[in-house]
Amino acid sequence: MTEPKAVVTGFLQALEELDVDRALGYAAVDIVYQNVPLPAARGLAAVEKQLRAMAKYGSGFEARTHHIAADGNVVLTERTDVLRRGSWQAEFWVCGTFEVKDGRIVLWRDYFDWTTVLASSAKGAGRVALNGARTLIGKYRSSGELRA
């Protein structure tokens, strides 16, 4: 598979399945990955370290692609990324730029609004806390220790 759009789609699907080895198979040795404005990860080893951390600390990832366009070896994605860890979840809009050469991703740059990421993260934490409180109250009610 060397068609740029198919390479990017396959890469994102591998990430959704938390299959880091398969995702890295789409990456060039000299790949550059950047979440703007953070510093770029340069080279396969640096990108592998970030992807393995995502798979280790996260329990799920989803890339809901709304639009994808290719112009030669450049692929642009407009998507909603969903990060999960247990019952916590954050959803945020992302615009991604991928550059593909010889069937491998040499550039992966994502742009998103940090305020939205932080707000979605806080919302996810609030849901976890609320669900935990509901569970705790339910246990007390069923044990007869708490009266409604």
Catalytic residue among 19, 71, 110, 113: 110
- Residue 51 is encoded by which pair of tokens? 């992807």
Angstrom distances, CA of residue 11 to CA of 61, 119, 125: 13, 27, 29
Backbone torsion region of residue 139, taken as left when φ is above 0, otherwise alpha when ψ lies between -120 and 50, otherwise beta: alpha
Q: Determine whether 110 is an active site residue.
A: yes
Cβ atoms of 107 and 40 closer than 8 Å = no
Neighbouring residues of 115: CB distance < 8 A, sequence distance ≥ 6: none
Residue 59 is given by DSSP the state: S
Catalytic residue among 30, 71, 81, 102: 81
Helix spans in the chain (H)? 4-16, 20-24, 44-57, 114-143
Catalytic residues: 81, 110
